[in-house]
Structure 1
Amino acid sequence: MFKDLSPNLKSSITRSITQTFEQYMSDIEWSEEKFSIDDFIASWREYITTKALWYSKIPDDMKLDPDFHEDLAKRINEVIARVLGEPPSEEQIVAIQMMQEQLNTHYEYDCKAEAVYVETLLKNHLEM
C-alpha cells in the first residue's frame, strides 16, 4: 500500500520518520539503554497527527488498513537502519576530535546523526 502513494507523499513520510527518529534519539541522548521502539513510535504518531501536513492526505480507510501499518513498519525499520548506517563525515570527525581535545572529553558516535548530536553538545560546552 505504501508503494501506491505518490512520490511526494512517500518522501514526506520518510522525512518525518527521519526527523522524528533523530529528535527522539537526541532527546534520549543517543542512549541505547533508554531507547524504546514504543516510545519512538508514540512520538512519531504524535508528530504525524499534530504537525505533519501529509497525514490528512492519506485516506482514512488506508490509515486503518493493517497492510498499510505493516508497510509503514517496514519503512520505519528501513529509515532507522539508513540513519544508523550513515557514517559521520570527515569534517564532523575532525571538528569533534578538536573539541574533545579542548574539553578533555571522549564522546563516542557511530553515525552521522549521532555525530551531529555530539558536535552540538560539545559546541554548547565550549560556549559556557
Structure 2
Amino acid sequence: MLLEELTESHGVCLAYFDNDLWPRPGIYIDKIQVIFVNKSLSEDAKRRVVYHELGHLDHDSSQYERRHEQFELQANKTMIRYLMEDAMSQLDDVKDFNYIQFMKLNDLHTVADEVMVVDEYYRLVKAM
C-alpha cells in the first residue's frame, strides 16, 4: 500500500517538507491531522517515519511533554508492527524470519526495540 493511501485510510493527510526548513525526520500535528515527513529521507526512512507517526494518532498532544517516553515507545511499537507485517508478508515461511537482520535493516538498536520486535513476531505468528 502506498503511504498516501495508508495515511488516508487513517483519516490523516501526508505532506513533505524540506530539510532546510526543519532538520527533523517528521511530525504528526493532530490539530490539522497531517503527518509531515522530511522529503530528503530515503524511501525506507520515510516509510518508518510515517509508520511511527501513525502511532501518535490516538495520543493527546496536551499530554505529550508529561508522557513523552510512553508516547514515543507506543509510536515505535506501531512502526515495528507495520514493518513486521511488511516483512512477514514477503516470506514463504515465517520461520525464515531473522529478527537481527530485520533490526539492522530498519535501524533498530535499543533493547526496547528488540523486545517489541520479538513480541510482535510471536503476535503475528499466533494470528496466522
TM-score (ref. length: structure 1): 0.30
Higher RCO (C-alpha 8 Å, min separation 6): 1
Structure having the larger proportion of residues in strand: 2
Structure having the larger proportion of residues in helix: 1
Higher Rg of the two aligned structures: 1
TM-score (ref. length: structure 2): 0.30
